[in-house]
Amino acid sequence: MTIITKRLLQAYFLAILLTVFGKVAGAKVITPDAMMMGGADHSDKPNIILILADDAGYHDFGFHGSRTMLTPNLDRLAEHGILFEQAYVTAAVCGPSRAGILTGRYQQKFGYEENNVPGYMSASGLTGDDMGLPLEETILPQYMKSLGYSTALVGKWHQGHADRFHPTKRGFDYFYGFRGGARSYYAFGENNQNHRQEDYIEEGFRVFNEPSKYLTSAFVDKAINFIDSSDASPFFLFLSLTAVHSPMEAEKSDLAKFPQLVGKRKTLAAMTFSMDKAIGRLLKHLDSRGIRENTLIVFTNDNGGPSDQNASNNAPLSGTKANHLEGGIRVPFIVSWPSVLSKNTKYRYPISTLDLLPTFIAAGHGEPDKLITLDGINLLPILHSNQEPAIRTFFWKKENRAAIRDGDWKLLRYPDRPAELYNLKHDLSETQNVARKKTLLVESLYKKLFTWELGLQRPKWQLKREYEGKAMERMDNFRYHTLD
């Protein structure tokens, strides 16, 4: 055993012991009341819309070079805004990624490491009601309400289906959507009893009513209604779409747009086109209301596309949803704020969806620097100058797997084989593993990763044993993609 290996093992077991025995206590979270409120005058505060796609492939947009997908409205949004070339989520699966967005903190710091879906169980052995974004965490809509914003969540929640985790109890004034992680794009039949309560469409609290149209369109209808009801104050709208997550369901008129395609790829193209049309309708409504110029819009995705479930394409990135290769964690990301930010520009430095919360707070005249537990940064200063920020370090962890990006270097840790090291500046597709040539750098990155892990909580729920093999297999089921 080499000296490097011994040191790595010693650090690793120390991290495990400290985590297991709870030696690391989480820092106290500052509440919205501790922030400067920015005054009572809301006239110059922007409206803010966060549009989150679900399971979309990195390459499956015109603005990323796809010649298959039709996304004219999102392409125009990119042309009239800033397109980020290196945007990351904090997890390669839905629930934890969203928890990171909503808190501005690495979700592993409060035990939200796994998806809260069937197949998992809580640390106490219970399921279902125990799984959700911890109530002691202050989240994005609560901060925005403290700054005078009316708030809405339209679409997918996936942060706990028990009543105590409900969006209207976590800072959202209005909710239209469903509490679970995925459902049909069409209304459930009246006599169909095979669905969980969290999968039914809900408006407000416990008012269930299935949509009368394709779900993506229904969500945008409700988003527009909320915008129209928010004349007295600036609004924060979280449009959390289910497109293009499975089940693979598309309208016939949209399928007809892609006669050259077959199977899941055809359905995915139709679902993507539907999403783009709906977003285009929302943008047009903002124009008609005369509020587009002072509306900060972000479009992004919750994790990499799953090439198995919906035939998504993450090229030129390797990897897929559920693994820590770039295709699992790097996402499309557009920011548009016509009256303030540059247009038709690209930002080429790494950022994280952790940055959304402090950026939105700053845009709303709050002071995110006072929130000392945040892991993200306010992007507005660097977007105004388009300058490179200080070198940042990003972390990912799920079960025993983990990754760290420090500058241009990225290390991936596996439980069943040696670590891999890539220089992303020169090897975007992660094809040239240089770990054996850079042993000192591997050791350094391992130490940084272990140090970060010392500040994490144990996962509040974990995968049941009978699901482990299938999940681990999926983590490695696909690596490389080709351009269409």
Q: What tens digit of pLDDT does each residue of 111-164 get?
A: 999 998 777 777 767 666 789 999 999 999 999 999 999 999 999 999 999 999
Q: Which residue has the tokens 């219970």?
A: 126
Q: Which residue has the higher pLDDT, 124 or 398?
A: 398
Region of 278 please: left (phi>0), alpha (psi -120 to 50) or beta.
alpha
Q: By three-state DSSP, how is residue 149 classified?
A: coil
Q: By three-state DSSP, how is residue 322 classified?
A: coil
Arithmetic mean of pLDDT, 433-439? 98
| Rounded distance between C-alpha atoms, residue 412 and residue 401, angstroms | 8
pLDDT band of 30, cuts 50, 70, 90: very low
Pairing of strands 295-301, 47-53: parallel
pLDDT digits (tens, 9 = 90+) for 214-271: 999 999 999 999 999 988 789 999 999 999 999 999 999 999 999 999 999 999 999 9
The matching CATH number, chosen from 3.40.50.620, 3.40.1190.20, 3.20.20.60, 3.30.1120.10, for 394-475 is 3.30.1120.10
pLDDT band of 188, cuts 50, 70, 90: very high
What are the structure tokens assigned to 8, written together?
Answer: 């790595």
Query: What 8-state DSSP symbol labels residue 301?
Result: E
| Rounded distance between C-alpha atoms, residue 466 and residue 272, angstroms | 34
Across 10-56, the runs of DSSP E, i.e. the strands, are 47-53
For 401, list phi and psi in degrees, rounded to 5.
-85, 145
| Rounded distance between C-alpha atoms, residue 219 and residue 58, angstroms | 23
Average pLDDT, the chain: 89
Give the CA angle between residues 287, 303, 173 to the nearest 5°: 50
Handedness of CA 89, 52, 38, 390 (dihedral sign): positive
Q: By three-state DSSP, how is residue 208 classified?
A: strand
| Rounded distance between C-alpha atoms, residue 201 and residue 184, angstroms | 10
Task: With beta carbons less than 8 A apart as the criterion, state whether 88 and 58 touch.
Answer: no
| pLDDT value of position 387 | 74
pLDDT band of 464, cuts 50, 70, 90: low
Q: By three-state DSSP, how is residue 344 classified?
A: coil
Q: What is the CA radius of gyration of the chain?
A: 22
Helix (H) or strand (E) holding 18: helix 3-20
pLDDT band of 484, cuts 50, 70, 90: confident
Q: What is the pTM of this model?
A: 0.91
Task: With beta carbons less than 8 A apart as the criterion, state whether 84 and 73 touch.
Answer: no
Task: With beta carbons less than 8 A apart as the criterion, state whether 400 and 415 touch.
Answer: yes
Task: With beta carbons less than 8 A apart as the criterion, state whether 38 and 226 touch.
Answer: no
Q: How far is CA 1 from CA 4, 5, 10, 449, in A?
A: 8, 6, 12, 21
| Rounded distance between C-alpha atoms, residue 173 and residue 170, angstroms | 9
**In percent, how much of the chain has pLDDT > 90?**
77
CATH fold, domain 46-188+195-391, is Alkaline Phosphatase, subunit A (3.40.720)
| Rounded distance between C-alpha atoms, residue 118 and residue 121, angstroms | 8
Q: Which residue from 92, 110, 105, 93 is spatially nearest to 456, judged by alpha carbons?
A: 110
Neighbours of 444 (CB within 10 A): 14
pLDDT band of 431, cuts 50, 70, 90: very high
Q: Which residue from 360, 432, 283 is spatially nearest to 32, judged by alpha carbons?
A: 360
pLDDT digits (tens, 9 = 90+) for 342-362: 999 999 999 999 999 999 999
| pLDDT value of position 15 | 44
| pLDDT value of position 17 | 39
Tell me the three-class secondary structure of 142-166, residue by residue.
Answer: HHHHHCCCEEEEEEECCCCCCHHHC
**In percent, how much of the chain has pLDDT > 70?**
85
Amino acid at 70: L
For 327, list phi and psi in degrees, rounded to 5.
-65, -15
* In the predicted structure, residue 368 carries a pLDDT above the cut 50: yes
Spatial neighbors of 33 by CB under 8 A, at least 6 apart, are 146
* In the predicted structure, residue 84 carries a pLDDT above the cut 60: yes
Q: Where in the chain is the domain with CATH 3.30.1120.10?
A: 394-475
Q: Where in the chain is the domain with CATH 3.40.720.10?
A: 46-188+195-391
| Rounded distance between C-alpha atoms, residue 148 and residue 170, angstroms | 16
